[in-house]
Structure 1
Amino acid sequence: MGTRHDDDPALYFSTHVFVCGNRRPEGHQRGCCASKGSEKIRDYMKARVKELGIEGVRVNQAGCLDRCELGPCAVLYPEGVWYKLDSFEAVDEVLEKHIQAGGRVKELMLP
């Protein structure tokens, strides 16, 4: 894993959230995050960040993050922490406890 160096430019976003939006054919053995509602989760998270006035956070859709069976999933950088975001309540908890308070939501974290 890369590490930041003192002479690196400042982070453009304090937190960059990638929400998997991968869609596989129906019935695929690994499933996919899109079929589990990841697009609605991403849209909700983007709206909540704006509503709450959280600055320096960017929420993006990602292609396959290769954790299909555990999804819908998201990864937050620069920490590289992975979460299962399967409800709007899960999104709110991650926004409050991880992004705003700097903690973690252990019960939602992916191994």
Structure 2
Amino acid sequence: MSYFKHHVFFCCNQRAEGETCCAALGAVELQTYAKDRIAALGLKGKGQVRINKAGCLDRCDEGPVLVVYPDNVWYSFVDKADIDEIISEHLQNGRIVERLKI
């Protein structure tokens, strides 16, 4: 069994000016928001959810992106409402958010 039920990696890669990257699309701020929401909901820790920053996940053209393991589900997102939906639907209730899936 995995240490975490869900391990979520947010691409927070910063590329050179003018190149598409998740960091320039708000990924760092939304990763922090997701981490804080998971803690506030009591979902942080062993057997639950871990939110991490990642370097380049090589999908910046679809970004910003995150991936949920062990489910291997990739999402694009644009705002806190999208993050809240991923947390509520996928991480808490096990339902993939099809409209955000890439």
Which one has a bigger Cα radius of gyration?
Answer: 1
Amino acid at match of 2:25: K
Report which structure shows greater RCO (CA 8 Å, sep ≥6).
Answer: 2
Determine whether 1:87 maps to 2:79. yes
Q: Which runs of 5+ in 2 are unaligned?
A: none
Kindly state the Cα deviation for residue 109 of structure 1 after the two structures are TM-superposed. 0.4
The list of structure 1 runs, each at least 4 consecutive aligned residues, that deviate by more than 6 angstroms after superposition, is none
Using the aligned pairs only, state the percent identity: 44
> With structure 1 as the length reference, what TM-score do the two structures score?
0.87
Q: Which runs of 5+ in 1 are unaligned?
A: 1-9
Instruction: Tell me which residue corresponds to 2:65.
Output: 73
Amino acid at match of 1:40: E
SS in 1 for 2:99: helix
Amino acid at match of 2:66: A
Return the match for 1:19 from 10, 31, 37: 10
RMSD: 0.7
2: CA distance, partners of 1:102 / 1:78: 12
Summarize the alignment of residues 1-111 of structure 1 with structure 2, pairs less than 5 Å apart. 10-28=1-19, 31-55=20-44, 56-110=48-102
Kindly state the Cα deviation for residue 85 of structure 1 after the two structures are TM-superposed. 2.0
